[in-house]
Chain A
Amino acid sequence: GAVVSQHPSWVICKSGTSVKIECRSLDFQATTMFWYRQFPKQSLMLMATSNEGSKATYEQGVEKDKFLINHASLTLSTLTVTSAHPEDSSFYICSASQGAGNTEAFFGQGTRLTVV
């Protein structure tokens, strides 16, 4: 299957700092990328959908000014957690798709963020 690379795989940061997570599609052009968050022992929750070259669409309850998403190219989307707090500690996963509709999405390896 197609490969999606997410980096870093884990990160520890201090409260108040910002953290950037990258999601790259290595062997296909991802017109749409998705960002998910998973708290311990809970299901994945969609945070936002980003289409290349346009603003991300955020799910209800997700602060767009706190979770900045940039999808500037067909192979790269970034999620920046700004002014991180301990409650932002979570597992963040991206997925990428070649297009809208019934096309398969491929997942990154995930990033475990710990804010201390």
Chain B
Amino acid sequence: DQQVKQNSPSLSVQEGRISILNCDYTNSMFDYFLWYKKYPAEGPTFLISISSIKDKNEDGRFTVFLNKSAKHLSLHIVPSQPGDSAVYFCAATANFGNEKLTFGTGTRLTIIP
């Protein structure tokens, strides 16, 4: 039972344009959501997060949007840069971070120069 789903295994975006990565979840107990970025041969690194009490969180070029009624969140990167090419994992947790992280399967983002 995949509780966190990233339905797009890969995404290619032109440099300078907006990258939009999507994530859906099924567990209504999830109340905190995170995005991790992973380069080859490295561990995932934390990128940005959002609590269920918000619908938007912004950090520089990265913005995460949360639609609780649709159980859907998205990560927007604008403008996209070549260094953004990586695998992006969506993760969710309950009890505002005091429970384990449940990860999606990841989306490989490729930024085309």
Verify that A and B bind, or say they do not. Answer: no
Residues of A bordering B, CB below 8 Å? none
